[in-house]
Amino acid sequence: MKGARGVAALVVGGVLMAGLVGCTSSAKEPPGLTASPTVSATPTPEPTDDTAAEEAAILDVYYRYWDAIVAADGGNPDPALFAGIATGAHVEELIARARQYQEWGVAMEGEPSFSNVTVAIDGEVATVWACVDSSAWVMPGAETGNFDLVNPGGSRLERIEGAWIVTDSAKPPGDFTC
């Protein structure tokens, strides 16, 4: 039983570390920089109905993408989970991880929650950043160790043939905090 717990702890650590990609930096600020806020003289424009509809479509894909990740890590490593919502090497990596979990006889339970969800649209490319809380998305019997369970994460989406598709992960901006 101790061996299974050790494997489970390593798996959870790997999942949590995967969520940390690009979340921390060891770079130090050069001396003389101040952290004073900047004020824009130009007010931020109110979102239009078109922008709101685009954001809603992007967020719909983003949440369905996470539903597919949760289902895969919960014991269903079927690539069809990502059909029409995500593509690329990162999907292959997610499926490979889910298959490995299945081979080991382990599965995640529950699901993450999200806060501070932010959408940026630049033409045919969009990015979603969010604080991902993994505290309710666990592997039974595994200990979380010293990992933060709420981490910033991001996804890059592209409009492909008229539909928004997750194409990669995205590093949140340096000022994005959870």
Per residue of the chain (178 residues), what is the pLDDT tens digit? 434 434 333 344 444 334 433 333 333 333 333 333 333 344 445 556 788 999 999 999 999 999 999 999 999 999 999 999 999 999 999 999 999 999 999 999 999 999 999 999 999 999 999 999 998 998 887 776 667 789 999 999 999 999 999 999 999 999 999 9
Q: Nearest 5°: phi and psi at 16? A: -65, -40
User: Does pTM top 0.95 for this prediction?
Assistant: no
Q: Domain extents for the chain?
A: 2-21+48-169
Smallest Cα–Cα separation from 23: which of 135, 112, 152, 176?
Answer: 152
| 24: Cβ contacts below 8 Å, ≥ 6 apart | none
Do the strands 109-110 and 125-133 form a parallel or antiparallel pair, or are they unpaired?
A: unpaired
Report the distance separating Cα 23 and Cα 120, nearest Å: 18
Q: Which long-range contacts (CB under 8 A, 24 or more apart) does 101-108 make?
A: 101/11, 101/73, 101/75, 101/77, 102/75, 102/77, 104/7, 104/11, 106/7, 106/8, 106/11, 106/139, 107/73, 107/74, 107/75, 107/139, 108/15, 108/70, 108/73, 108/74, 108/137, 108/138, 108/139
* Residue-level pLDDT at 82: 97
Q: Nearest 5°: phi and psi at 81? A: -55, -30
Class of domain 2-21+48-169: alpha beta
For residue 23, the one-letter residue type is: C
